[in-house]
Structure 1
């Protein structure tokens, strides 16, 4: 059992958690056992033996549990340490009911990770691999799979185990000789890391097992029945199927064009769907060209802004998306992404930027959208800002060119 530190939050739960580390000599432990055999239910790949921890609970003495002491003490006091988090977890196991007669209840949380609060921030030192000491999405050494959200994660059975959802990218159309870059979008109910595979891909294309990016150059015309699958470390998986048509190259008949309407925003919100105030001439952020730009977030409080436009990419065309992006922020962290901008084309995530990508001026971003040839796709910028310290994502001079 690992330990966490609590802080109040405006979220529904009311709390957020990070790895308990008061200083270099006080905090939760973690690591890879030198002696104990790895149990069958642990699937992390960096440790060949037993890995700490399975789960965690509050342990920081500064945010710990209130205890009323009538023996050797004088009333209320706050206590901490993993000597507090361990009995908390033992108590949750007791409340969860009688375990299976031949079971090792330590394995139960591994089948119910969606019933735990995943702890994704903080560390108790520096390790290699980093997850031995650093919290992240899914399993990590200091906090395991997370902290209790009720008792469901501590019961026998697998009926409330993880679920993996793969979003179908829809039927695809590509010309032979076209460069393909298609990001498969998938989610795990517990935020666990996923591995990807695919069957039936057009000749010349392959999928990256770690990222889910389908790439390559389509070389052979035909109609392909494609199934993409994502799987997490608990064995949960999900799939999506679609048809991918590869047609004979148009032989240079594609007309060069710029497809986006009002690409520099100089006609205000014309042709764009945007949150109130996003397309603006406000001089607080400079435009890349002209007077207008799209300014997402920058409020210094919990806020979400969006900007989108739907466009049809002609069949047989190569298509390239470009835009200029400037990010400035009041965040001082060099390691934590508090505020994020996600760029998508339909269900495909092209890129995610954050306060960690701040820069003094604009930088041009370029993406190959040739895989969307023959379809209508919605290009969307989504900015999400947390509860403090502004981050501004400023977009200008967009273009979607064919040729």
Structure 2
């Protein structure tokens, strides 16, 4: 048997064997026993494994978190080429593929996870806003890749590369153990800027990216000293303000919508601020804490005031979820295509739309999720929904499952697991306390896994997150 380093969506990885050709495909890695590399540079496959892992995690992040089906949004993966040139200390996306050098003395391949996420996100930028690589737009371009490279690292949550707000910390490109860039205080690298100014656009985009990187950290985590995943940060502000973060999950979604909906090729920092406020209002509401947090974090990097402001409508005290009964279709929810549906094969609890996970009778993984901020003053916050289940399975083995999960930072908690065992085709309301998440931005996720035969349907409707 021969195995190939290629996945089902078309991500595949090749060995250039020192070639510097821009067109050479390289030789696709193959293996007889499906055990790849040894984790050391003594095996050429080791770099291939890390590059391929980065490509898969980047694809999965965009699909599962942002609802984007790959770099081109067409469900097709990309080629990754490793062992480019000799002593080549770089990695790059060229519009069609990823290429990685082996670093100093060919002993430090630049295949770290956030590097892969960073470079492949240039492809996403190229296929959305198409930001140019000069002036403010160049800095926004580079920072976007740092933001989503970091997001991919947190999404993977791999103990071998602890998620952090440092860029390229594992490749040791400086030779002294320091990262390439710091998001909490970009100026720590000696060249990047913490704050926007009218001369920022004259810098190399890697350095003019600093203010937007700083914005993302502040929007996600807030200002001041703190320790996250064992890493110490101390993020200042440019206007002496104190910023409270809205949570990384919300900041990621807001910036992706900004990139994909509101930015154009020549956008500057003012346009970025305006677009992000619009995106926050789209996703979370005009009077949401997320919108206010976006304004505060852009002000904290001295970004020019744009044309958009948050509304004065107070944060909702009823249902905090948007489009909770799915009657607006897929709006405000992120997940699998077709899961939110008017298909009459299963009834909605109310209205015409519902979330129907499963029902396929083949190996399938589906999910839907939405981020929400739980007010710190909430009396008794809770998640509720109506659910009906039916199955063609029999027996007491849980072949098909659906988990209801809460994601907070890097921690995923499963509130309940439903399966083909003990189904109930009559809608019943379920409720779970969210008291542990007061003051936090969380993601509520419904995750279904179905095996290779005999369908089980998990149908959810009329969801709610209430404050009590």
TM-score category (smaller protein): 0.3 to 0.5
Higher strand share: 1
Q: Compare CA radii of gyration and give the structure with the larger one.
A: 1
TM-score normalised according to structure 1 size: 0.37
